[in-house]
Amino acid sequence: MNQPLAERMRPKSLNEYIGQEHLVGQGAILRKVIESGHLPSFILWGPPGVGKTTLASVIAQTQDRPFHSLSAINSGVKDIRETIETAKSQRFFTKPNPVLFIDEIHRFSKSQQDSLLGAVEKGIVTLIGATTENPSFEVISALLSRCQVYILKALEYDELVSMINNAIQKDEYLKTKKIKISSYDALISISGGDGRKLYNALELVINQFDKDEVIDITDDLVKAVIQQNLSRYDKSGEQHYDLISAFIKSVRASDPNAAVYYLARMIEGGEDPLFIARRMIILASEDIGLANPNALLLANNCFQAVHHIGMPEGRIIMSQTAVYLACSPKSNASYVAINEAIDLVRKTGDLPVPLHLRNAPTKLMKNIGYGSGYQYSHNYQPGTSDMECLPEEIKGTQFYKPGNNAAEKKYEEYLKLIWKEKYQ
């Protein structure tokens, strides 16, 4: 079969739809809306593979509405406008408004979301957006105020079992096979409540057998097959983990060419650009740190710019940032310092804060020594004193060890001037 199992088993009516009983079960709020014939614009918010796209398609079919689908990964303002013009030509007095379904609407920039407003306000289209992110943060307020938000849940165990049984009994290809399910547990565990992953895993296991073989699906079989075919089972896994790892390690290795290559791989693979931008912010602090403090500023600005502008133009900003980070001097001194400090805190617990550093808002506190002996740094040369600030039990401990780069060499000289033996 050329079509994947998940596509072949896509429901065409509400009666075939599995899951989300709180929304589309008998008497549920969204089902009532659908059956009324009226349809406001709304956003479906929930994890991947729980039926957001399917539900939008089923609703359009149930109400006999033209259905237009765009993906925020590869659609721009031009695509939106062209689709809206098509929708205008489909409006008739006797027909309900076309449905415009936007998958991953959280990836649309502000300008892209703005381009939807007029059509939604005028009733040219009924918008159904799908998102895995909280729409309160990712959808502009003007659009959000015109939409209901319905929250979808991860599919439950019994629902996933029903999906497996339906596929075995009703799919034109699978029902010709001799399939026995000895245990559902591994399939359902691997799916993580994601119906698409469940079908991908089931199909992958079944395809290991010849045409006339009896297929006994056990937990051990499922685990063995999925482990051997992980990239085929979940392509996003390879992109999400291996590629981001290669990207980070290339930047850390000061290789701008490899960094841009892996960035391109992720962009072409449909990775969320904001995920990449977030990783660059972390990298700028973890691997570059005080060797070039501007790296963190640029990475943070990159995230903001990509969030506002969106794709495909955001790729240029990410490329500039990736190259800058790769070409920056590297230091993990701050990263090491906080890890060592946390490790010591866990070992030593809540050590008492030295009295001279404690706040003394009352007379009693002053009388028992709170704040006594505190040295105000600006009264000393060169702008600080050598007052010990760590608890008595760990005084003299050095967490921050300046990296071997020009910027931190200056910090090291300054710290030696103040602390002498601690930084000799």
Q: Answer yes or no: do 215 and 316 share one domain.
A: no
β-pair partners for 44: 130, 150
Q: What is the pLDDT of residue 228?
A: 65
Q: Which residues contact 301 (CB under 8 A, 6 or more apart)?
A: none
**Range(s) of the domain holding residue 57:** 19-151
Q: Encode pLDDT of 121-139 as tens digits.
A: 888 899 999 998 888 878 8
CATH number of the domain at 294, please. Answer: 1.20.272.10
Q: Answer yes or no: do 262 and 343 share one domain.
A: no
How far is it, in rounded angstroms, from Cα 401 to Cα 412?
A: 8
Q: What is the pLDDT of residue 1?
A: 55
Q: Answer yes or no: do 84 and 106 share one domain.
A: yes
Structural element, H or E, at residue 128: strand 126-131
For the ranges 21-30, 166-175, 402-411, the lowest mean pLDDT is seen at 402-411
Beta carbons of 112 and 307 less than 8 angstroms apart: no
Q: Final residue of a domain: which of 212, 233, 254?
A: 233
Give the side-chain half-sphere CA count within 13 A for 412: 13
Beta carbons of 201 and 164 less than 8 angstroms apart: no
Domain count, the chain: 4
Residue in this structure with the two tokens 């001194």, named with its chain if needed: 333
Q: Work out the percent of the chain whose per-residue pLDDT is above 70.
A: 93
Q: What is the pLDDT of residue 94?
A: 66
Q: Final residue of a domain: which of 192, 213, 233?
A: 233
For the ranges 38-52, 207-221, 232-246, 370-384, the lowest mean pLDDT is seen at 232-246
Residue 374 burial class via C-beta count within 10 angstroms: exposed 0-12, middle 13-18, buried 19 and up: middle
Residue 7 lies in a domain: no
CATH number of the domain at 229, please. Answer: 1.10.8.60
Q: What is the pLDDT of residue 356?
A: 74
Report residue 190's pLDDT band, with 50, 70 and 90 as the boundaries. Answer: confident
Q: What is the pLDDT of residue 92?
A: 65
Handedness of CA 294, 297, 300, 305 (dihedral sign): negative
Residue 331 burial class via C-beta count within 10 angstroms: exposed 0-12, middle 13-18, buried 19 and up: buried
Q: Answer yes or no: do 288 and 349 share one domain.
A: no
How far is it, in rounded angstroms, from Cα 152 to Cα 47?
A: 7
Q: Answer yes or no: do 272 and 293 share one domain.
A: yes
Whether the pLDDT of residue 4 is over 50: the answer is yes
Name, of 6-10, 234-238, 374-378, the range with top average pLDDT.
6-10
Tell me phi and psi for residue 50, to 5 degrees. Answer: -105, 5
Q: Answer yes or no: do 189 and 279 share one domain.
A: no
How far is it, in rounded angstroms, from Cα 311 to Cα 278?
A: 16
Q: What is the pLDDT of residue 238?
A: 46
The pTM of the full predicted model, rounded to 2 decimals, is: 0.57
Q: Encode pLDDT of 309-358 as tens digits.
A: 888 888 999 999 999 999 998 988 888 888 888 888 888 888 887 877 77
Of residues 53 and 245, the one with the higher pLDDT is: 53
